[in-house]
Amino acid sequence: MKLLNLLNANIRKEYIELKRYLPNTIAMLLTFYIIFLAMFAGIQVIGDPTTQDMNIQYVIVNYIFWYLTMIVVNDIGWQLSNEATQGTLEQLGMSPMGIWRIMAARLVSSTLVHILIIIGLLYLSMATTGQWLNIDVITLIPIFILTLISMFGLGFIIAGITVILKQIQAFLQILQFILAALAFVPLSVAPFLAFFPIVKGVDLVRQVMIDGASITQIGYSDFLILGFNAIIYFFIGLSIFLYCERVAMKKGLLAHY
Amino acid sequence: MEPIVKVRNVEKAYRKRKSKEMIQAVNSISFDVYKGEIVGLLGPNGAGKTTTIKMICGLLKPDSGSISINSIDTDSHRLKALTHISAVLEGNRNLYWRLSVRENMEYFAGNRGISRKEVAPLINDLLDKFHLKSKEHELVNRLSRGMQQKLAIAVAMLAESDVILLDEPTLGLDVETGYEVRTILKNIVKEYNRTIIISSHDMDVIQDICERTIIINHGSIVTDDRVENLLKLFEVRSYTVSLGGLLSSMQQQLLTQKFPNHTYVSDSYQSTLEIDLLKSEEIYDLFDILKLQATPVESIDRQTVNFEQIFMKIVKGEKTHEVAQSS
Ligand SMILES: Nc1ncnc2c1ncn2[C@@H]1O[C@H](COP(=O)(O)OP(=O)(O)OP(=O)(O)O)[C@@H](O)[C@H]1O
Ligand SMILES: [Mg+2]
């Protein structure tokens, strides 16, 4: 019950801020769409016409996925960096729920609030390009959930680093590109990347949305890898975060000093 | 009776960012606070007040020593201990500036696992008490510094915790707002019977609200006593005597023998004597000396000493607590 109230409060905050700063939100979405159009145009101009449709579909899936990682992983870094320099982080640190539960609630809420936007963007991209992908919800949901869990782990790592270093804006800028690389790289190029966070997830999503694979066609081993990644990254992430929190409490780093 | 806050031999040193040198911010501090007490933590800049408060509310881990709240160790059972504590730390950025007054209250309650519905009556009550009802839907970045501070205290009240820690609650407020915040704090104490620890260098706050004060300087406790005792300590013995004439040289000599620390100021018709008595009976000795020449006494005033003067004397080491108690 308490956890539900915690989640509820964080969803509300996320929603209120998106709504209150609507021009910001719109600008963000517009940026997303314009970059998408640029890529779409690029493929049409310089791409190989025989694989054009395929390429566009790739771009749609990868790009949407990248957006998701930005919301989940990068955003928590920005938020915490602000809160640490302002002083609200200490306030969170005094909650008997523990900062990590609040962070988990934030990760889940930003995903939930943005998922609607992401679906909107997906349909907008498909309508713009005329490339209709296979939206097999039953198959996609488990893939998404497992991939999200490993993303949350990544989010915790970023949150931990932020708590210690605070001014990590430069790092977050670079991280955007690392995340983009992970979202865009085809797994066939480097199979070992399957054990990197999100790579396997995007790959499976591509199989479903582009190649039309259904849940029965995706092997157990694929889900196993996905599940394995989810558990490993979540726990590694959480442990790193808790460790960083302890260090911060020892050294007095929770506040701006 | 078990103390509600128990601080034992707590130490904390920080490492300076550049020079790697260590700063001993808190140096083996021990004290107890009992339920319903209002304790002031007083000390000059850098004394270690904020550090002490942050260790009590679990944001900083002591290097050594232990702290318990309601007999729960804040180190080994941190989150459990936190259910009994809430705090307002110094500064005005401890709220979400992009959220409204009410949204802030709801969000912080939510972060403690309390639902909006559950907390609504308490929020309404607190908005009234803190005179924030009309600003309920105002964004925090549009509030005055004083209102922000009131909101921060209201947020700390939401947890309904036994112990509330306030770090410099009136810092940066103008006189009027400072007075308002103090009045609100006094009412809270009366009405909700919370245990409160307030750090401040504002003597008015301590004198007005606290029953007991712990004075710290350079990370150590200099004195820990009831505020009234500390006031009594100096008040009883300082007198200003206005005389309707001048003292003879014999009288002056006797005075110097009896009261070496007195000051005597005279003009052509009248004079003023300032005198510190070690015991109240000594006032008779003073009268005896005055009687010798039948010097007219116009008034005798007990000097009102404010906390600030006591504080300065104690911090400068003029009076230690031991001296105070032995007299
Ligand atoms: N995070 C930190 N890192 C390094 N040094 C610190 C840190 N926090 C406090 N200090 C140092 O520790 C000492 C005690 O600081 P503290 O903030 O506890 O004092 P204070 O009594 O609250 O002072 P003020 O009245 O200025 O708020 C000071 O010398 C301060 O410079
Ligand atoms: Mg301070």
Q: Does the fold of domain B236-324 match that of domain B1-84+161-177+184-218?
A: no
Q: Give how far A5 is from chain B: nearest CA, Å.
A: 5
Of B225, B169, B195, the closest CA to residue B49 belongs to B169
| SS3 letters across chain A | CHHHHHHHHHHHHHHHHHHHCHHHHHHHHHHHHHHHHHHHHHHHHHCCHHHHHHHHHHHHHHHHHHHHHHHHHHHHHHHHHHHHHHCHHHHHHCCCCCHHHHHHHHHHHHHHHHHHHHHHHHHHHHHHHCCCCCCCHHHHHHHHHHHHHHHHHHHHHHHHHHHHHCCCHHHHHHHHHHHHHHHHCCHHHCHHHHHCCCHHHHHHHHHHHCCCCCCCCCCHHHHHHHHHHHHHHHHHHHHHHHHHHHHHHHHCCCCCC
- pLDDT band at B197; cut points 50, 70, 90: very high
Count up the domains in chain A and report the number: 1
pLDDT digits (tens, 9 = 90+) for B35-94: 989 999 988 888 999 999 999 999 999 999 999 999 999 999 999 999 999 999 987 788
Residue B237 has pLDDT above 80, yes or no: no
- pLDDT band at B306; cut points 50, 70, 90: low
Q: Which residues line ligand 1 (CB under 6 A)?
A: A 252, 257; B 14, 23, 25, 43, 45-51, 201
- pLDDT band at B302; cut points 50, 70, 90: confident
Token pair in block for residue A244: 């960083």
Residues ≥6 apart with Cβ < 8 Å to B18: none
CA dihedral of B155, B160, B166, B170, whole degrees rounded to 10? 50
Residue range of the domain that includes A229:
2-255
CATH class for the region spanning B236-324 = alpha beta
Average pLDDT over residues B155-178: 91
Q: Is the dihedral of CA A148, A153, A155, A156 positive or negative?
A: positive
What is the predicted ipTM?
0.91
The CATH number of the domain covering residues in B1-84+161-177+184-218: 3.40.50.300
Token pair in block for residue A239: 């442990």
Q: Count of CB contacts below 8 A, A vs B?
A: 100
What's the CA-to-centroid distance between B320 and ligand 1, angstroms? 24
Compute the distance between CA of residue A108 and CA of residue A114 in angstroms, rounded to an integer: 10
- Element (H or E) spanning B176, and its range? helix B175-192
**Residue B243: CA atoms inside 13 Å, Cβ hemisphere, count?**
27
- pLDDT band at B122; cut points 50, 70, 90: very high
**Residue A178: CA atoms inside 13 Å, Cβ hemisphere, count?**
12
Domain ranges of chain B: 1-84+161-177+184-218, 93-159, 236-324
Q: Does the CB of A25 have a partner CB in chain B at under 8 Å?
A: no
Compute the distance between CA of residue B157 and CA of residue B135 in angstroms, rounded to an integer: 18
Q: What is the pLDDT of residue B327?
A: 35
Residue B113 has pLDDT above 90, yes or no: yes
Compute the distance between CA of residue A36 and CA of residue B56 in angstroms, rounded to an integer: 52
Ligand 1 atom closest to residue B49's alpha carbon, by position in its atom list = 21
Is there a contact between A89 and B53 (Cβ–Cβ < 8 Å)?
no
Q: Does the CB of B80 have a partner CB in chain A at under 8 Å?
A: yes
| 3 state DSSP class of B13 | strand
Q: B212-217 and B195-200: which strand pairing?
A: unpaired
Please tell me which of the candidates B54, B106, B111 has its beta carbon nearest to residue A95. B111
Q: What share of chain B is helix, strand, coil (3-state, %, to 5)?
A: 40, 25, 35
Of A99, A234, A240, A69, the closest CA to residue A153 belongs to A234
Residue B319 has pLDDT above 70, yes or no: no
Interface of A with B in 55-114 (CB under 8 A): 86-88, 90-98, 102
- Inter-chain residue contact A96 with B107, CB threshold 8 Å: no
Residue B13 has pLDDT above 70, yes or no: yes
Q: What is the pLDDT of residue B267?
A: 85
- Inter-chain residue contact B14 with A87, CB threshold 8 Å: no
What residue's CA is closest to ligand 1, atom 22?
Answer: B50
Q: Does the CB of A254 have a partner CB in chain B at under 8 Å?
A: yes
Average pLDDT along chain B: 88
- Inter-chain residue contact B82 with A13, CB threshold 8 Å: no
Ligand 1 atom closest to residue B43's alpha carbon, by position in its atom list = 21
Average pLDDT over residues B286-293: 90
How does pLDDT run along chain A (257 residues), one tens digit per residue?
899 999 999 999 999 999 999 998 899 889 988 988 888 888 888 877 888 888 888 888 898 889 999 888 888 998 998 898 888 999 999 999 999 999 999 999 999 999 988 899 899 989 988 889 888 899 999 999 999 999 999 999 999 999 998 888 888 889 989 998 888 888 888 888 888 888 999 999 999 998 888 888 888 899 999 999 999 999 999 999 999 999 999 988 887 66
